Amino acid sequence: MTLLVFGRSGQVAQALQTICPGATFLGRDKADLADPAACAQAIHAAAPWGVINAAAWTAVDTAETEEAAAHVVNAAAPGAMATACAGLGIPLVHISTDYVFDGSGTEPWTPDSPVAPLGAYGRTKLAGEQAITSSGAVAAILRTSWVFSAHGANFVKTMRRLGASRDSLSVVADQIGGPTPAAEIAAACLIMVQRLRDEPDLAGTYHLSGAPDVSWADFAREIFRQTNLPCQVTDIPTTAYPTPAQRPANSRLDCTSLTETFGIPRPDWRVGLADVLTALKGTQP
């Protein structure tokens, strides 16, 4: 029996391939999340001991105009996966997001905090959580934030590229959250799915984000500090950088229950950043 992972090219899926090469990874060619029935069929065909869903519609702005398509990928497909897992009696770990919250206040969101998504992406991810919870599967939902790695498109790679060619950048300073290395999310997912196999009572919703909480502007400053780039960062408000989808101002996540239940502490994202920048060394910004 194998561990089945939905996703192959995404940041967390790439990290999982590094730490769990023996798992079976399904890309879009093998299981397209736009076809929920095919996802369920893939689980039944593989008969795995557990499933991790590391695939999603993550184009936040595009979701505003293509919400129906995003809903299939982020809600209907995970629901179908969970129903299949429930039928086979195997655990599921699903990655969700801080976008299920409205971003108000300054206190960290707990897994039990009231949900109120600001936009289409958050609504579709919340619908996915609800579908999983109602499926009866032994499932853990892991909400995370501000994911970065040496793969794919993310804030670290964007800042590294722009910082190499500009003297200064204006970066949003009134959105606060915890940058999270994809490698830490992958490691947490693996621990969680293994524990759930033997301890189904651990099913539930958990949070994982890097520490300490920072603004995007301060995140950028640390990227430039570690890359020895002289690019200066000017703080700007969210209103000065409009986007189709509204971003949460407060993305702080309370990760206490994850640490208490699974022994997984909040990672220092600055250490993870150093690892990512080492991996990127020698590549074109």
Segments making up each domain of the chain, as ranges? 3-154+179-210+253-267
Span 100-120, pLDDT tens digits: 999 999 999 999 999 999 999
Q: Which pTM does this prediction carry?
A: 0.96
Span 201-229, pLDDT tens digits: 999 999 999 999 999 999 999 999 999 99
What residues are annotated to the active site? 121
CATH number of 3-154+179-210+253-267: 3.40.50.720
For residues 214 and 176, the answer to whether their CB atoms sit within 8 Å is yes
How would you write 186-201 as a 3-class SS string?
Answer: HHHHHHHHHHHHHCHH
- pLDDT of residue 285 exceeding 90, the answer is no
What lies within 8 Å, CB to CB, of 239 at 6+ separation is none
C-alpha separations of 118 from 98, 103, 237, 244 in Å? 11, 8, 18, 11
What pLDDT is attached to residue 283?
Answer: 86
Range 59-86 average pLDDT: 97
- pLDDT of residue 1 exceeding 90, the answer is no
What is the C-alpha separation between 63 and 67, in angstroms, rounded? 5
Q: Which burial class, exposed, middle or buried, applies to 213 when counting CB atoms under 10 A from its CB (0-12, 13-18, 19+)?
A: buried
The confidence band for 284, taking pLDDT boundaries of 50, 70 and 90, is confident
The two structure tokens encoding residue 104: 């108000």
Mean pLDDT of the chain: 96
